[in-house]
Amino acid sequence: MFRLPFEIFLALRYFRPRRTFVSVITMISVIGVMLGVAVLIIVISVMSGFDQEWRNRILGFNAHLKITGTSKLLDDYPAVIEKIKMNPEVKGVAPFVRGQVLLGTQPQEGNPKYMAPMLLGIDPDLQATVSVLPTSIKAGKFDLDGNNLVIGRDFAESMDLVVGDRVLLYSPGTIEKMVRTIEEAQKKTRPIEEATLPPEYTISGIFDVGYGDYNATIVASSLPNSQELYNLGDGVVHGLQIMLNDPFQAEKVRLELVGRLGPGFNLITWAEESPHIFNALAVEKNMMFYLLFFIMIVAGFGIVNCQITFVVQKTREIGILKALGADNLQVLLIFLSQSLVVGVLGVGLGLASGLLALHYRNDFLRLMNKLFGFELLPAQIYQIYELPVSIEAWDIFLICSTAFFICLMAGVFPAWKASRLQPVEALRHE
């Protein structure tokens, strides 16, 4: 039959609740460790989830590499695409025209609404190789033939647009031409004989790429239409989007393409294009870990207090054990084993409660929204619609092992003081 070691047997026997003040302090110590571990797991997993979610959604819509000309325009882009495709790391390449436009609605009733979204001119056949946009249509279809337009979900809601509605697009060139016509008419004091009308587009689809900023600010049209709006030639675009097999090889591929393409090109990696988002997440995650780690320090002081009180209470028993032949190491291990039990229980319960809270995180957010009527995770701020989580094994191991180590170290000093007690002094204590 399996027998526990003498020291652990006594530690567990002393650990059993006896409705004493020491038992209450011990339970509080366990709860303190549990809360510290649970909060650390929840916060670090959520921060990792934000980092992974934003990275996936940003890289799903945006390319891993972007190439533009030094003059902000890219001439003869088909030849450039052929050179880029020679790199084995390149998964897809597509041209784009990107610029701000003024969009006006044409409602059947009421006043029209105006907003200045970012127009993305794309090649529908090539865009699927560099972006999730073609597969993210939630209403209508991905159809850019003729004067068709696809818009984001949040943009459609803010402008009260649905599939089939007609809108007007004013490009900077169109607006400049309209202003010039008005100024010339005013100088000659004659009525405007020839008006410049903006092109009319039909909403063919509404997309949702999972990132609120893109859903609220991006509208997409065909590449020829965008080139016409910005007065570009057939072989001229603003740049090229490149999708790689591995986004973390972007810097390596950039250096290779710089040598292959030669001067006259600007190459920007995804990390350079949105550095503030990912750098801020990394800093916040580290800072939250260090700040919340003090919860474990506080729990450690609770264990020290509990053990010191326990040693004082068990002074007579220590004297009897030493009189019966227990050495200093055995007495030390008895009280150190109590810290070990507190650590195992606290870390185990904290791990279980943290994982449970993460599993029901979105249910809790919806409940809070229903009870109090406000959003704890506004999509306008965080650019996501549900709380993301990424439970990484290394983070869990680091949190649990560090918490257990603190619990063990918190009991070293009280256990050492107990082991130094002399039998005569311990018995005289009574």
The parent domain of residue 374 ranges over 6-56+277-428
Same domain, residue pair 100 and 36? no
> Residue 299 in contact with residue 346, Cβ under 8 Å?
yes
Structure confidence at residue 2 (pLDDT): 47
Same domain, residue pair 174 and 221? yes
- Beta-carbon neighbour count of residue 291 at 10 Å? 10
pLDDT band with cut points at 50, 70 and 90 for residue 236:
confident
pLDDT band with cut points at 50, 70 and 90 for residue 219:
very high
Residue recorded with tokens 């002081």:
301
Residue type, 404: F
Check residues 168 and 177 and name the one with the higher pLDDT.
168
Same domain, residue pair 412 and 287? yes
pLDDT band with cut points at 50, 70 and 90 for residue 332:
confident
Residue 150 has pLDDT above 80, yes or no: yes
pLDDT (tens digit per residue) in 334-358: 777 777 888 888 889 999 999 998 8
Asked whether residue 1 is assigned to any structural domain, the reply reads no
pLDDT (tens digit per residue) in 361-391: 888 877 877 777 766 666 655 656 677 888 8
- Beta-carbon neighbour count of residue 98 at 10 Å? 18
Structure confidence at residue 1 (pLDDT): 39
Same domain, residue pair 49 and 75? no
Mean pLDDT on 160-179? 83
DSSP label of 117: -
Structure confidence at residue 183 (pLDDT): 62
pLDDT (tens digit per residue) in 79-133: 888 888 888 888 889 999 998 898 988 888 878 888 989 999 998 888 888 888 8
Mean pLDDT of the chain: 79
C-alpha dihedral over 286, 291, 295, 300, to 10 degrees? Answer: 80
Exposed (0-12), middle (13-18) or buried (19+): which is 337, by Cβ within 10 Å? Answer: buried
Asked whether residue 364 is assigned to any structural domain, the reply reads yes
Same domain, residue pair 98 and 46? no
> Residue 311 in contact with residue 26, Cβ under 8 Å?
no
The secondary structure of 2-53 as a DSSP string is: ----HHHHHHHHHHS--SSHHHHHHHHHHHHHHHHHHHHHHHHHHHHHHHHH
Helix (H) or strand (E) holding 98: strand 90-100
Mean pLDDT on 192-221? 82
The secondary structure of 345-400 as a DSSP string is: HHHHHHHHHHHHHHHTHHHHHHHHHHHHSS-SS-HHHHS-SS------HHHHHHHH
Strand-strand pairing, 90-100 and 118-122: antiparallel
Same domain, residue pair 185 and 105? yes
